[in-house]
Amino acid sequence: MAARRGALIALEGVDRAGKSTQGRRLVQGLRAAGHKADLIRFPDRTTEIGQLISSYLVREKDLEDHTVHLLFSANRWEHVPLMKEKLHQGITIVVDRYAFSGVAFTNAKGNFCLDWCKQPDVGLPKPDLILFLHLSPEEAAERGNYGHERYESSSFQEKVLQSFYCLMEDKTLNWKTVDASQSIEDLHREIKSIAEKTMEEVQNKPLEELWK
């Protein structure tokens, strides 16, 4: 019998929902429980493509909207060979944002349909679980001011949330919404238990391709 594979778990949600905190906690918690687990954050600003994306986000550089969308996708594709290798070695990969952020943020710009936005990411490793950390715009606002990067405004984030809701209608994907207004520890416990259940369920199943 083939070796058991790791699970691909995506964390999505609007800004301030706690994705990065929960991603780190999840990987720590899984490792402490004896699982092999790694975290990847998208965009990964450390690669050459990631540096271009970062200079766009911090407004050092203006990039055309289609171009930046394709760069975000390319920044995921450059990780795919290593992601597949790790998953097949039994390592669970937690991704802090994935193609769903890619689609939701570009679609929120208004002149890009969901179908166009999805195309560059068709065929990426399909997440076995997408945890959507749900926080209302009011609760997000209570967590303090947004920063100064592109997209960091409540009006834009509201549009991003609507785009996420459209993506969640796709029942071929395993979306699970969790309440991100709970304490960090309670949310961590809930997320870890859902993640472990998924890891158990998919370990002998083939890795699938996204939106294909």
Residues that bind ligand 2DT (CB under 6 A): 42-43, 57, 72, 97, 101-102, 105, 151
Q: Least CB distance from residue 151 to ligand 2DT, whole Å?
A: 5
Say how far apart CA 65 and CA 206 lie, in whole Å. 35
Q: Least CB distance from residue 72 to ligand 2DT, whole Å?
A: 3
Say how far apart CA 121 and CA 90 lie, in whole Å. 24
Q: Pick the closer one to ligand 2DT by CB: 116 or 151.
A: 151
Say how far apart CA 121 and CA 209 lie, in whole Å. 10
Q: Pick the closer one to ligand 2DT by CB: 29 or 43.
A: 43
Q: Pick the closer one to ligand 2DT by CB: 147 or 201.
A: 147
The residue sitting closest to ligand 2DT, measured at its beta carbon, is: 102
Q: Least CB distance from residue 135 to ligand 2DT, whole Å?
A: 14
* Token reading at 211: 């939106």
**Residue 111 and residue 157 in contact, taking contact as beta carbons nearer than 8 Å:** no
In sign, the C-alpha dihedral spanning 49, 55, 56, 58 is: positive
Q: Pick the closer one to ligand 2DT by CB: 35 or 159.
A: 159
Gap between the terminal Cα atoms of the chain: 27
